[in-house]
A = this chain, B = another copy of it.
Amino acid sequence: MKRFAIRCTQALVCAVTISLSYAQTPVFRPATDFTLVGKILPTLQVYHRVDTTQHPDMPPAVKRLVTNSTGLAIAFKTNSTTISAKWCTSSRKTLPNMTAIAYEGLDLYIKKDGRWQFAGIGRPNGDCTESTLVSNMAEGEKECLLYLPLYDETVSLEIGVEAGATIQPSPDPFRKRILMYGSSILQGASASRPGMAYPARLSRDTGLNFLNLGLSGSAKMEKAVADMIATVSADAFVLDCVPNSSPEEIRERTAYLVNTIRKHHPKVPILVIPRTVREHGAFDQKVGDGVKAQNEQIKQEVAKLLRSGVKDLYLLSYDKGLGNDHEGTVDGAHPNDLGFDRMLQELKPQFLSIFRKYHLLLD
C-alpha cells in the first residue's frame, strides 16, 4: 500500500511537471497566418516593402532599404496569457545611434480601453531569437499589434501562445492609406523601439494607416523611385525628403516627384514637410549652412509648383521643429523619442486638418 502510494505520488508529480512544462512551452504559428499591417506594395518576400524586380532602375541603396521591415506589423487576437515570438533578421549589426530593439527587435501593443497600449518588446539576441514578449496576463481575449524591426530585414517570424490558447488574425486596425516617403528619420532613427517610429505613432493616434517608406540616407527623389511611389495605392502622400536631398536634387527632382504622383492620383492631397533639423548645425557652420539651403530650396520648389497650378499640394509648417532646448536628437540629425514627440505635436494637427478636408477621418 505504501509503495502504491509512493508510485501514485510520483505519477502525480510527473503529471503535474509534464502539464506545467506543456503549459510553459509556447506553440508557434507563422506570422503569415495573421494580418499584415502597413504593407506598401505586394512583394515575394512577405516582409519586404517593395518588390525590386518590378522597379529595376531604382538605385542599389533603395533596393536594399526596401527589404527592411520598417512600418510592418502583425494584427492578431489571442486568449493566451503569454505571447512569445521567434524571429530571424539578417546578419547586419545595429547602428550606434539606435537600440537593437528598434533596429532588429519586436514591439508589442495590446488594445486596452479602446486604445493601443505598449505591452512588451522582443529583445534581439543575435540574428535569430526566441523571446517572451509578455506573460502573466489576465484571462480573456487580447487584440494585439506586433511591430517588426525598423532597420533590418525580417527573414522569418513566428508568434507563440500557450498550448490550447486560441490565436487568429484580427482585422487591420487602421483605415485609408497615407504613403509617407522620406529619410532615416521617417524610417525610425532614432526611436527607441519599432512602435515609436513616427508613422507608427500617427497610426495609433489617428486610426489612419500611415505607410512607412523611410529610406535611410536615400530619400533623394530619383526618377525611378518617384515612378515606383506613383504606383502605390494611397489616399494621401507625405513627402519628408529634405534631410537626404541636396539643394540641387531638391531643385531638379521635386517637380517630377510631385507631378508624377499627381498624374497617377489626380485628387489626393500631397503634403510636404518643409524642413529638416540638424542640431549640431548650430556649431558646425557647414552643416548649418547646408541645412538652411535645403530648407529654403524645398520651399521655393513647392511655391513654384503651386504657382504652376498644382492643386491639393500643401507645404506644412514646421517652425518649432524638435523644440528649443536642442535635446531632441541622439546625434544632431536623428530625433530621439523626445524629438519625435515634439515633431508630432507640430505636424499631427496639420495632418488631421488637411485629411479632414478630404474626408479621410471618421469624424
Please report A residues at the B interface, Cβ cutoff 8 Å: 94, 96-101, 105, 110, 112, 117-121, 123-125, 134-138, 142, 190, 192-193, 196, 201, 279-280, 282-287, 326-332, 336-341
The answer, among B285, B330, B337, for a CB contact under 8 Å with A137, is B285
Inter-chain CA distance A119–B283, complex, in Å, is 6
Q: Are B337 and A136 in contact (CB under 8 A)?
A: no
Nearest Cβ distance between residue A255 and chain B, in whole angstroms? 32
**With A119-B283, A121-B331, A196-B336 already in contact, 4 other A-B pairs whose C-beta atoms are closer than 8 Å:** A96-B123, A135-B284, A137-B283, A338-B338
User: Is A96 touching B99 in the complex (CB atoms < 8 A)?
Assistant: yes
**Residues of B contacting A110 with CB < 8 Å?**
283
A296 to B173, CA, bound (A): 38
Q: A37 to B101, alpha carbons, bound, how many Å?
A: 32
Query: Which residues from chain B contact A327 at a C-beta distance below 8 Å?
Result: 118, 196, 201, 337, 341
B112 to A124, Cβ gap below 8 A? no
Kindly identify which residue among B118, B201, B280, B337 contacts A332, using a CB–CB cutoff of 8 Å.
B118
B285 near A117 with CB under 8 A, answer no
8 A-B pairs with the lowest CB-CB distances in the bound complex, closest first:
A96-B100, A192-B330, A192-B336, A337-B338, A136-B286, A336-B337, A136-B284, A119-B283
CB atoms of B338 and A193 under 8 A apart = no
A193 to B285, CA, bound (A): 23
Bound-complex Cα distance A167 to B327 (A): 26
Q: Say whether A283 contacts B120, CB under 8 Å.
A: yes
Cβ–Cβ < 8 Å partners of A96 in chain B: 99-101, 105, 123-125
Name which of A99, A100, A101, A339 has the most chain B CB atoms within 10 A of its CB.
Answer: A99
Q: How far is the CA of A341 from the CA of B337 in the complex (A)?
A: 10
Complex alpha-carbon distance, A112 and B279, angstroms? 13
| Nearest neighbor of A331 in chain B, beta-carbon distance | B121
Q: With A118-B326, A280-B118, A337-B338 in contact, do A123 and B331 touch (Cβ < 8 Å)?
A: yes
Q: What is the bound-complex CA distance between A137 and B110, given in angstroms?
A: 48
Q: How far does the Cβ of A96 sit from chain B's closest Cβ, in whole Å?
A: 4
Tell me, rounded to whole Å, the shortest Cβ–Cβ distance linking A4 to chain B: 38
Which residue of chain B has the shortest Cβ distance to A205 in the bound complex?
A: B325
Indicate which residue in B125, B137, B340 contacts A284 across the interface (CB closer than 8 Å): B137
Q: Can you list 29 A-B contacts with CB-CB less than 8 angstroms, sorted by A residue number?
A: A94-B94, A94-B100, A96-B101, A96-B123, A96-B124, A97-B101, A99-B99, A101-B331, A117-B282, A118-B279, A118-B326, A118-B327, A118-B329, A120-B280, A120-B284, A135-B284, A136-B285, A138-B285, A192-B336, A192-B337, A201-B327, A327-B337, A327-B341, A328-B337, A336-B337, A336-B338, A337-B337, A337-B338, A338-B340
